[in-house]
């Protein structure tokens, strides 16, 4: 329709020029051209929408001026064109502030959507550009520079929409954050968070749900805000629950050790009893250092060892007094069969084994080589490159056992079992006394400090 009108206007204008020239009268070309420019200007600010009556009058007046020229009423055509121009100007002046207002509102809505999509963080450059553009548009509007305000608002709208699109393209970041918080919540539950951190657990779960709902509705700002609250509470729940569970386990271990110390088996299972005490002490130290998972593991191992003592009968002790020499020889043979000696570097290589019911651990390896299980940290220090957790060693691992003294003494150890790396006579005597065990005692994998974990060797008795 608009295209046809323009064609008709052009034809009429050409006709007017032809008639005017033919009759020798002056056609009001300047007036009619000015009216046409104003009509086009009004159309550019959507005057048909905002000032339909004025726009209709302007168009009709322009057409009427062409008709008058065609009929030879040239003098009347000039006045009609001027009136059309005035109506077009009226339409423009009425429309342009309304258009600017609507353009600004559109840009502000797009900016709000970008804000909900968390564009302030996920598409910061485009977001700030849109924000600045809207401010400029409002400033221009206040200064009655309506058309400039309209142009600024249109540009700001485009920037805001771009910012939102970029943000929505990164919604996977929110999804990943929700997943991470859920993992923390599950870990907290494993440490009995309902008991130790009920309020934090509830807040974490509530805000994870909000974050999930926000992700579904693409309100990423709300989602990220909720997931931050969820993360804070999930982390707090995990910390509180680990601390609380560690305290509970240590308390249980103390109570069980007290029973074991008073049990008939305490005089027989002296090694396990000593290991139970050491594991409990280790657990308390780890708890003080806020290493709660390790403290829990050590406390559980102390309980396990205490149960072994409780299961041992007092009348199952073995008298080793007549077997000392044979036992010493057996211990030497055991060490030699399991040991590679690197005398130049000053250590033995011990291969961790798995023997059901009697599994390897740092405590027992220290007993083999030093005659004193409490010297296990010496072995751990030498193997930190492969044993990060002293409560866990694995079958097949080759552990370095530091051999104090000269190379000559180290080599002597291979053939005689004596030297700085072996137990002293006093240590042997002490170890023999501690090694009286129950024939029915069954060892399990150990995780207390000093008794490692994983496989434990059949322990030589000195």
For 451-460, what is each residue's pLDDT tens digit?
443 333 333 3
pLDDT at position 23 over 70: no
Percent of the chain with pLDDT over 90: 52
Report the pLDDT value the prediction gives residue 349, as an integer from 0 to 100: 84
Euclidean distance between CA atoms 360 and 364, whole angstroms: 7
Q: Which of 117-126, 265-274, 331-340, 380-389 is most confident?
A: 117-126
Helices (H), 169-219: 171-190, 193-196, 198-216
For 335-355, what is each residue's pLDDT tens digit?
555 555 555 567 888 888 876
Residues forming a β-bridge with 66: none
Helices (H), 72-123: 74-116, 119-122
Region of poorest pLDDT, from 250-259, 289-298, 361-370 = 361-370
For 115-157, what is each residue's pLDDT tens digit?
999 999 999 999 999 999 999 999 999 999 999 999 999 999 9
Distances (CA, A) of 105 to 42, 108, 113, 135, 338: 21, 5, 12, 12, 83
Residue of 217, 299, 316, 211 whose CA lies nearest to 263: 316
Report the pLDDT value the prediction gives residue 197, as an integer from 0 to 100: 96
State the chain's mean pLDDT as an integer.
Answer: 79
Q: Which pLDDT band, with edges at 50, 70 and 90, does 188 fall under?
A: very high
Final residue of a domain: which of 316, 339, 367?
Answer: 316
- Same structural domain, 383 and 286: no
Final residue of a domain: which of 166, 183, 209?
Answer: 166
Show the domain range for 365: 324-434
- Same structural domain, 382 and 401: yes
Does any domain span residue 250?
A: yes
Q: Is 38 helix (H, G, I), strand (E, B) or coil?
A: helix
Does any domain span residue 458?
A: no
Q: Is 288 helix (H, G, I), strand (E, B) or coil?
A: helix
Pairing of strands 398-402, 339-342: unpaired
Question: What total number of domains does the chain contain?
Answer: 4
Q: Is 323 helix (H, G, I), strand (E, B) or coil?
A: coil
Q: Mean pLDDT across the stretch 236-244?
A: 96
Q: Which two tokens stand for residue 83?
A: 């009136």
- Same structural domain, 155 and 15: yes
pLDDT at position 369 over 70: yes
Place of tokens 């866990």: 392
- Same structural domain, 139 and 33: yes
Does any domain span residue 93?
A: yes
Final residue of a domain: which of 195, 227, 243?
Answer: 243
Q: Which two tokens stand for residue 17?
A: 């020029």
Q: Which pLDDT band, with edges at 50, 70 and 90, does 424 fall under?
A: very low
- Same structural domain, 175 and 305: no
């Amino acid at each position: 329709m608009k295209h046809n009108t323009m064609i008709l206007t052009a034809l009429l204008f050409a006709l007017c020029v032809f008639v005017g020239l033919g009759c020798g009268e002056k056609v009001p070309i300047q007036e009619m051209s000015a009216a046409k420019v104003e009509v086009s200007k009004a159309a550019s600010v959507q005057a048909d929408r905002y000032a339909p009556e004025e726009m209709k009058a302007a168009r009709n007046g322009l057409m009427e001026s062409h008709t008058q020229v065609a009929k030879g009423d040239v003098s009347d055509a000039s006045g009609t064109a001027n009136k059309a121009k005035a109506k077009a100007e009226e339409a423009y002046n009425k429309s342009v502030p309304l258009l600017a207002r609507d353009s600004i509102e559109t840009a502000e809505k797009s900016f709000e959507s970008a804000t909900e999509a968390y564009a302030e963080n996920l598409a910061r450059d485009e977001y700030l550009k849109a924000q600045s553009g809207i401010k400029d548009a409002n400033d221009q509007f206040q200064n009655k520079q309506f058309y400039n305000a309209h142009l600024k608002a249109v540009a700001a709208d485009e920037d805001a929409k771009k910012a939102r699109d970029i943000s929505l393209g990164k919604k996977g970041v929110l999804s990943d954050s929700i997943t991470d918080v859920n993992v923390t919540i599950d870990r907290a539950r494993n440490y009995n968070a309902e008991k130790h951190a009920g309020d934090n657990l509830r807040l974490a779960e509530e805000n994870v749900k909000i974050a999930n709902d926000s992700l579904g509705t693409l309100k990423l700002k709300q989602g990220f805000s909720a997931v931050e609250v969820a993360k804070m509470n999930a982390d707090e729940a995990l910390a509180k629950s680990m601390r609380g569970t560690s305290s509970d386990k240590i308390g249980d271990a103390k109570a069980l050790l007290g029973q074991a110390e008073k049990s008939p088996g305490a005089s027989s299972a002296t090694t396990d009893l000593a290991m139970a005490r050491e594991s409990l002490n280790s657990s308390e130290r780890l708890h003080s250092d806020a290493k709660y998972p390790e403290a829990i593991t050590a406390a559980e191992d102390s309980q396990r060892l205490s149960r072994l003592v409780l299961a041992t009968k007092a009348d199952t002790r073995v008298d080793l007094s007549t077997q000392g020499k044979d036992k010493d020889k057996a211990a030497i043979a055991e060490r030699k069969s399991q040991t590679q000696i690197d005398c130049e570097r000053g250590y033995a290589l011990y291969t961790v084994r798995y023997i059901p019911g009697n599994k390897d651990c740092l405590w027992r390896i220290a007993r083999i080589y030093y005659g004193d299980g409490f010297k296990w940290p010496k072995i751990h220090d030498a193997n930190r490159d492969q044993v990060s957790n002293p409560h866990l060693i694995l079958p097949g691992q080759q552990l370095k056992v530091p051999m104090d003294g000269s190379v000559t003494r180290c080599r002597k150890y291979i053939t005689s079992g004596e030297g700085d790396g072996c137990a002293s006579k006093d240590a042997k005597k002490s170890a023999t006394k501690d090694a009286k065990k129950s024939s029915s005692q069954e060892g399990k994998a150990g995780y207390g400090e000093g008794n490692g974990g994983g496989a434990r060797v059949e322990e030589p008795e000195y």
